A = this chain, B = another copy of it.
Amino acid sequence: MVDARFFDRTGEIDLSQLLAVCGLKSSGYSITQLRHIVSDAAPLISSTSDQVSFAAQKKYLSQLQNSKAGIILVSDVLISEVPASAIAVVCDDPYAAFVKFLVHMFPSSGHHLTHRPDFPHMGKAVFEKGVLIDNSAVIGSGVEIGRDSIIGPNTVIAAGVKIGRNTIVADNVSIECALVGDNVTINSGVRVGAKGFGWLGHGSSHTPVPQLGRVILQSHVEIGPNTTIDRGALGDTIIGENTKIGAMSEIGHNTIIGSNCLLAPMAGLAGSTILEDGVLMGADSGSAGHLRIGAGSILHARCAVSKDWPPGSMLAGAPAQDIKEYWREQAKLRKLLKGLNK
């Protein structure tokens, strides 16, 4: 579901129009199917009858089998797995077709953002009691800010953003496409909800993948100065309760961080990383994205995670290894090299 507070949509289209938009043939569908109406996009697992989704890899087989989407763009190897409730649209590159649909349905993909905070049709911003907003801050239309929260100088809160109670947003911060909880602290220069880095293809040409998601900062989160938290591509980037992120970090789109994590400064999490609860990341450590780091894991400084790790892992090195294995290998290697002649 794309949040209507942040992204305008073109409106309803039926399958025949969708096929035209995506450059696909309209043969092989029933009249009823061609008239099936959709007006939104969603991931397989959370979609409904008026939404479009896609499945390109076998990795997502169980999600495909359980999807409630109205229309699913699929590669031919997956067609037999599409549930009866959905219309299967087979195509060579389901993701590319899906992006074409997104571009059509959400052509602005960001006109509610910080560079245009004022949207009269969204109504006035609403502030609870005790809210303090510096005169130099710029607050967009439809923003809601909870009791006793503080917004610092030169900070920009884009249209539609919600901020909870007792939250401190320091100066020179940008927040867009985001829902921020209670007792959150956002330090100077932080960018919450900016467009993630999403492109289809590379080399002689690449097309932008609309970035239509949000950022959710749960309660008691703290974000260090000059850190960037990109909004989801579709769906949300989530920072769990009481998690603290240090300065100069970059959190990619659709990353999901559990509660009570500590990420020391200069952390880098590529898109769709999952950090379970209570993970501790040393300074300048990072992850390659599309992977899961189990609860309570500890990553040494400069560690670079490249695959899934179970809860309680202790990691070091790049690519990351179990820390005992890492030290053992380092010791063996050093001994071996000492014994060798030039």
Taking Cβ atoms with an 8 Å cutoff, the residues of A that contact B are 113-117, 132, 134, 136, 138, 150-154, 156, 168-172, 174, 185, 187-189, 191, 194-195, 197, 199, 202-206, 224-226, 228, 230, 242, 244, 246-250, 252, 260, 262, 264-266, 268, 270, 277-278, 280, 283-284, 286, 288-289, 296, 301-302, 304, 318, 328-329, 331-334, 336-337, 340, 342
Contacts and interface: CB of A to CB of B under 8 A. Distances in A.
Given A244-B206, A342-B328, A302 B304 contact: yes
A154 B205 CA distance: 33
Contacts of A249: 248
A329 B318 contact: no
A151 B116 CA distance: 9
Contact of A114 (B153, B280, B337): B153
A290 to B, nearest CB: 12
A246 B270 CA distance: 11
Nearest to A117: B153
B134 A197 contact: no
Interface centre among A170, A206, A342 (most CB of B within 10 A): A170
Contacts of A288: 283, 301
Given A170-B114, A171-B138, A301-B270, A228 B248 contact: yes
A171 B152 contact: no
Given A117-B153, A206-B244, A336-B336, 8 more contacts: A115-B170, A115-B171, A117-B134, A134-B138, A172-B189, A197-B247, A205-B242, A332-B337
A340 B331 contact: no
Interface centre among A134, A205, A301 (most CB of B within 10 A): A301
Contacts of A318: 302, 318
Contact of A152 (B116, B172, B195, B332): B116
Nearest to A248: B250
21 contacts: A115-B169, A115-B171, A134-B138, A136-B154, A154-B154, A174-B189, A174-B225, A185-B195, A187-B194, A188-B194, A189-B226, A197-B244, A197-B265, A203-B280, A270-B283, A328-B342, A332-B340, A332-B342, A333-B333, A336-B336, A336-B340
Nearest to A264: B197
A268 B270 contact: no
B151 A115 contact: yes
A197 B224 contact: yes
A262 B199 contact: yes
Nearest to A247: B228
A152 B185 CA distance: 24
B153 A206 contact: no
B329 A337 contact: yes
Nearest to A114: B171
A225 B288 CA distance: 20
Contacts of A156: 152-154, 171-172, 188
B153 A132 contact: no
